């Protein structure tokens, strides 16, 4: 269980009160604890701003002499399963999607406020301390989990609010769509793992995006993916050393581009603690529904935000080509 520690000083008496601990679910046992719960919100917002500031690696005493470098955090999620289709495996889903959105510090903070507001507008207060108190498009569509008490009209209104938020952020979107059946048919036993391919390809294009804007950035993914997949752990450890692009004759991998503008490679955090990952979930699910189910209303709604350079649109990117 995650624990936050808060301390405060009693200036008049010249004494310092002992640290006050509060659990992740926000248990309140006294009036003073109520202040801690309120302060936790402020601390979370400051953490978001601090993360972006650390990206720039700028010290306070020298910031006036440093160039104005923009920072982005790419939040990534995935949709569907990466298993192979028959006759190579048992997966019934043809497409696998890795995607998300790149947020500046300002848009990150705005997303933090708005996702919390949307959740509390529709979800009963009894669920606010649930570890599953987060946006999840799949559960919202099906009325599962914390969304089970909502009517169809309420769930539709909530989805509208989330997509309006994504459009309001005006942030570039990224997505890699892997056609698993074609990938396996084309490369056979040499076919690269769909999940790792999707992650590599998306981060590479994010790196190109940063290069074109002389910016720096971070990548954040759901820690659940990292914990359960040792292949991702190994891949993350080698990005900076071996590079990220997969090139090579007859699909023999040669890795290039050491993503110099992507700092710290990939960070992992729980999705319920990250509004960015929750919004990335909506983008991935929407993209997957467009390709797998031919349900394109939401996909068309977010289409103006796909990463582009003038009239050239880079996203979503399909694999294999």
CA distance 99 to 281: 8
Share of the chain above pLDDT 90, in %: 56
Which one, of 11, 288, 282, 42, lies nearest residue 169 by Cα?
282
With tokens 């189910």, the residue in question is 293
Nearest Cα to Cα of residue 17 among 38, 32, 39, 27: 32
Q: What is the pTM of this model?
A: 0.76
pLDDT at 155 over 70: yes
In which band, very low, low, confident or very high, does the pLDDT at 265 lie, cut at 50, 70 and 90?
low
Task: Write down the domain spans for the chain.
Answer: 3-55, 71-319
Strand pairing report for 254-256 and 245-247: antiparallel
- What kind and span of H or E run contains 74? strand 71-79
Average pLDDT over residues 154-158: 98
Looking at residue 54, its pLDDT comes to 58
Instruction: Band the pLDDT of 26: cuts 50, 70, 90.
Output: very low
Q: What is the pLDDT of residues 56-83, one digit of tens each?
A: 554 445 455 656 789 999 999 999 999 9
Inform me whether the pLDDT recorded for 157 exceeds 70.
yes
Q: Is 71-319 assigned to CATH 3.40.50? A: no
Q: What is the pLDDT of residue 257?
A: 55
């Amino acid at each position: 269980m995650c624990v936050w520690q808060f301390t405060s000083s009693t200036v008049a008496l010249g004494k310092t009160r002992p640290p006050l601990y509060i659990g992740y679910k926000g248990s309140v046992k006294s009036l003073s604890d109520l202040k801690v719960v309120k302060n936790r919100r402020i601390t979370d917002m400051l953490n978001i701003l601090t993360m972006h500031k650390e990206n720039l690696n700028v010290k306070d005493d020298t910031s006036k002499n440093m160039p104005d470098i923009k920072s982005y955090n790419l939040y990534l999620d995935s949709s569907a399963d990466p298993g192979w289709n028959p006759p190579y495996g048992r997966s019934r889903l043809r497409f696998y999607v890795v995607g998300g959105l790149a947020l500046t510090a300002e848009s990150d903070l705005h997303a933090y406020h708005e996702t919390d507001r949307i959740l509390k507008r529709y979800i009963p207060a009894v669920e606010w301390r649930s570890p599953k108190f987060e946006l999840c498009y799949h559960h919202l569509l099906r009325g599962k989990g914390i969304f089970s008490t909502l009517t169809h009209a309420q769930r539709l209104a909530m989805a509208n609010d989330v997509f309006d938020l994504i459009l309001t952020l005006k942030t570039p979107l990224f997505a890699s769509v892997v056609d698993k059946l074609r990938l396996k048919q084309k490369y056979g036993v040499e076919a690269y793992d769909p999940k790792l391919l999707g992650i590599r390809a998306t981060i590479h294009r994010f790196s190109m995006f940063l290069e074109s804007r002389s910016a720096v950035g971070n990548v954040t993914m759901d820690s659940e993916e990292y914990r359960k997949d040792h292949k991702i752990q190994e891949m993350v450890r080698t990005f900076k050393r071996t590079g990220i692009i997969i090139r090579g004759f007859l699909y023999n991998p040669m890795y290039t581009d050491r993503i110099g503008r992507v700092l710290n490679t990939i960070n992992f955090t729980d999705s319920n603690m990250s509004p960015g990952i929750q919004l990335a979930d909506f983008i991935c699910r929407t993209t997957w529904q467009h390709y797998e189910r031919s349900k394109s209303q939401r996909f068309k709604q977010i289409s103006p935000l796909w990463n582009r350079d003038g009239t050239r649109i880079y996203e979503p990117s399909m694999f294999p080509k």
